[in-house]
């Protein structure tokens, strides 16, 4: 029997002694590789970065939007980079925020897991159970599904913070749905920008005795702290190794922060800094 997705996450964390997820969000203006072909510049930049950090990270998260904005050229680059990450045995989380009626979500699950060959995907909960079920059905085949619970952006407060008739806020309602829908491989997106809420959600999942991998974006550019996030995860007593803390431009564009043009060394330095902030995993 093949590994399920949480096992894949644990194994990789143990192997590379890291829970860092490298977010791949290409913005051509910030890619210091010369050339006229957008796709080739993206592939060259991220292939170099991936090769350099592959043994110090524990997942790769391409964000569909940043590739799709460049049309077919961008999507071809995404396909190439997914293959490169998989060759390094890194779990690939396609950050695509999918979610539609049952039949459409079924088509999206084929897109994500068969056409793009991702190991996991992010999905939006607004349309409810039948909109996420087709993705969750793939958990039996070793795939993972991260449901958006509490996102890291300012607009998260518009709906997610509303208190509902059950006494819970909407994001906790979504967390309750994640427990209801749970199979091994079902996880949750919880932003790093509010550690109090992260702690609340982590405790809620722990109390339900469910092993729910968290995908935690928002450190670095968005202001969250990897150190604080890791402290929360440890405090709740979860095995930290199933979770992932994501950094995207924080890693790929570390060269802007550290100065100089050596983007590879800057990215490695940033990953090592994140790993050190997160600390020992066991």
List residues with catalytic annotation: 97
**Smallest distance, Å, CB 23 to a copy of itself?**
10
Evaluated on CA atoms 21, 27, 32, 36, the torsion sign reads positive
Question: Rounded to whole angstroms, how far apart are CA atoms 258 and 175?
Answer: 38
**Binding status of residue 128 toward a copy of itself by CB under 8 A:** yes
Q: Name residues contacting a copy of itself, limited to 42-101 (CB under 8 A).
A: 63, 65-66, 68-72, 74-76, 95, 97-101
**Smallest distance, Å, CB 108 to a copy of itself?**
4
Among 102, 208, 225, 277, binds a copy of itself (CB under 8 A): 102
Among 105, 195, 252, 275, binds a copy of itself (CB under 8 A): 105
Q: Name residues contacting a copy of itself, limited to 198-227 (CB under 8 A).
A: 222
Strands across the sheet with 59-62, in order? 59-62, 20-24, 244-247, 214-216, 186-190, 144-150, 120-123, 93-98
**Smallest distance, Å, CB 57 to a copy of itself?**
20
**In sequence order, what are the beta bridge partners of 146?**
122, 187
Residue 179: C-alpha distances to residues 129, 163, 173, 175, 244 (Å) = 12, 19, 10, 7, 19
The residue (of 165 and 261) whose beta carbon lies closer to a copy of itself is 165
**Smallest distance, Å, CB 273 to a copy of itself?**
23
Least Cα distance to 26 among 60, 74, 92 occurs for 74
**Smallest distance, Å, CB 4 to a copy of itself?**
24
Give one DSSP letter per residue of 55-81, joined into a string: TT-SEEEEBHHHHHTTHHHHHHHHHHH
Piece of 13-21, 36-44, 163-171, 232-240 that binds a copy of itself (CB under 8 A) = 163-171
Question: Rounded to whole angstroms, how far apart are CA atoms 171 and 148?
Answer: 9
DSSP one-letter code for 101? S
Q: Name residues contacting a copy of itself, limited to 107-126 (CB under 8 A).
A: 107-108, 110-111, 114-116, 124-126
**Binding status of residue 104 toward a copy of itself by CB under 8 A:** yes
Q: Name residues contacting a copy of itself, limited to 223-282 (CB under 8 A).
A: none
Least Cα distance to 245 among 276, 275, 215, 205 occurs for 215
Report helix, strand or coil for 145.
strand
Piece of 169-177, 198-206, 234-242, 267-275 that binds a copy of itself (CB under 8 A) = 169-177
Residues 6 or more apart from 141 whose CB is under 8 A from it?
A: 2, 113
**Binding status of residue 178 toward a copy of itself by CB under 8 A:** no
Among 158, 207, 237, 256, binds a copy of itself (CB under 8 A): 158
- Which chain residues interact with a copy of itself by CB under 8 A? 25, 27, 63, 65-66, 68-72, 74-76, 95, 97-105, 107-108, 110-111, 114-116, 124-132, 148, 151-160, 162-166, 170, 173-174, 177, 222
């Amino acid at each position: 029997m093949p590994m399920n997705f949480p096992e894949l996450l644990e194994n990789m964390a143990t192997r590379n002694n890291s829970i860092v997820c490298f977010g791949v969000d290409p913005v051509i203006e910030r890619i210091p590789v010369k050339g006229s072909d957008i796709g080739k510049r993206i592939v060259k930049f991220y292939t170099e970065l991936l090769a350099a950090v592959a043994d110090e990270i524990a997942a790769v998260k391409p964000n569909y939007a940043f590739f799709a904005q460049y049309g077919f050229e961008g999507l071809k680059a995404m396909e190439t980079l997914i293959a490169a990450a998989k060759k390094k045995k890194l779990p690939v989380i396609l950050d695509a925020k999918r979610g539609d009626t049952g039949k459409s979500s079924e088509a999206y699950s084929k897109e994500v897991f068969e056409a793009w060959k991702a190991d996991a995907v992010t999905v939006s909960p607004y349309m409810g159970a039948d909109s996420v079920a087709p993705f969750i059905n793939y958990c039996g085949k070793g795939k993972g599904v991260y449901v958006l619970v509490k996102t890291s952006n300012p607009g998260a407060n518009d709906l997610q913070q509303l208190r509902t008739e059950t006494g819970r806020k909407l994001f906790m309602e979504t967390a309750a749905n994640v427990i209801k829908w749970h199979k091994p491989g079902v996880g949750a997106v919880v932003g790093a920008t509010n550690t109090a809420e992260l702690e609340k959600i982590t405790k809620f999942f722990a109390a339900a005795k469910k092993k729910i991998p968290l995908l935690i974006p928002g450190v670095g550019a968005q202001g969250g702290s990897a150190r604080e996030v890791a402290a929360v995860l440890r405090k709740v007593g979860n095995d930290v190794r199933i979770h992932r803390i994501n950094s995207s431009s924080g890693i790929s564009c570390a060269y802007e922060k550290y100065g100089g043009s050596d983007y590879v060394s800057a990215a490695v330095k940033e990953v090592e800094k994140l790993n050190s902030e997160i600390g020992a995993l066991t």
